[in-house]
Amino acid sequence: MQNIDSIKTPSVDYSVHPLIAARWSPRAYDTKPVESEKLQRIFEAARWTASANNLQPWYFMVGLKGDEVYQKIVDSLVEFNQMWAINAPVLVLAIAKTTNAKGEPNKSYAYDLGQSVAMLSLQAMEEGIYTHQMGGFDASAVTLALEIPEDYKILVAFTLGYPGDAGILHPNLQKLEMSPRSRRSVSESVFTGSFGHKADFL
């Protein structure tokens, strides 16, 4: 079988940092726990994300396999995600505070939380830890189960862990695990002059 790292190595149009090129979202995880010092550095990276008005709206509920938080996160996942995510040693909910200190809406909460998870993901790659973000979960149920305050919103659940053998997955998931990564070209996303006009520098 072809090495999964070679399968997942993207064909980039322009050179990027190796951590960015190497990042992908596995479903097969080794059950090996993630060391505390690695988790410290991973969440430290999220701490230093750019933030509108320095509101830092990002918060994280971390479940370690075997604890109550982990099980409540598992219970909230759709069946498709439960099939594979239960092997990951760490499950996390990414949560945003939707208001500022005055109780007024923070229009940037989702953007800033997304940035923090991106920073976290790259630090995780530096540590040899992979993450897979999931939108398939019951946010209302897990908000209630974990007693998340009213002005905080769970936007995504994600895994953290060491990659494992794709052979542990359901056959349908193995196909996804072993398929090459793809993205549309930069020229289809970056414009100058008018929307849809390929940027002149590309």
Listed by start position, the domains of the chain span 16-181
Place of tokens 């995504």: 156
Provide mean pLDDT across the span 134-158.
98
Distances (CA, A) of 97 to 56, 174, 178: 8, 37, 37
Of all residues in the chain, the percent with pLDDT exceeding 90 is 97
Q: What is the reported pLDDT for 5?
A: 82
Relative orientation angle of helices 36-47 and 109-126, to the nearest 10 degrees: 140
Query: Rounded CA gap, 169 and 3, in Å?
Result: 16
Tokens for 178, please give them: 């072993």
Return the pLDDT at 39. 98
Query: Does residue 106 surpass a pLDDT of 80?
Result: yes
Average pLDDT, the chain: 96
Give tens-digit pLDDT for 5-45.
Answer: 889 999 999 999 999 999 999 999 999 999 999 999 999 99
pLDDT for the residue 105: 97
Tokens 């007024």, located at residue: 104
Question: How distant is the alpha carbon of residue 113 from its chain centre?
Answer: 11
Contact between 57 and 106 (Cβ < 8 Å): yes
Q: What is the pLDDT of residue 6?
A: 86
At residue 2, does pLDDT exceed 80? no
* Residue 34 Cα distances to 47, 66, 90, 201, angstroms: 19, 13, 7, 42
**What would the mean pLDDT of 146-167 be, rounded to a whole number?**
97
pTM of structure: 0.95
Tell whether the model's pLDDT for residue 1 goes beyond 60. Answer: no
Percent of the chain with pLDDT strictly greater than 70 = 99
> Helix, strand, or coil here: 158?
strand
Which residue has 């759709």 as its token pair?
Answer: 78
Cα-Cα-Cα-Cα dihedral of 117, 119, 124, 125, to 10°?
120
Region of poorest pLDDT, from 55-59, 129-133, 169-173: 169-173
CATH class of domain segment(s) 16-181: alpha beta
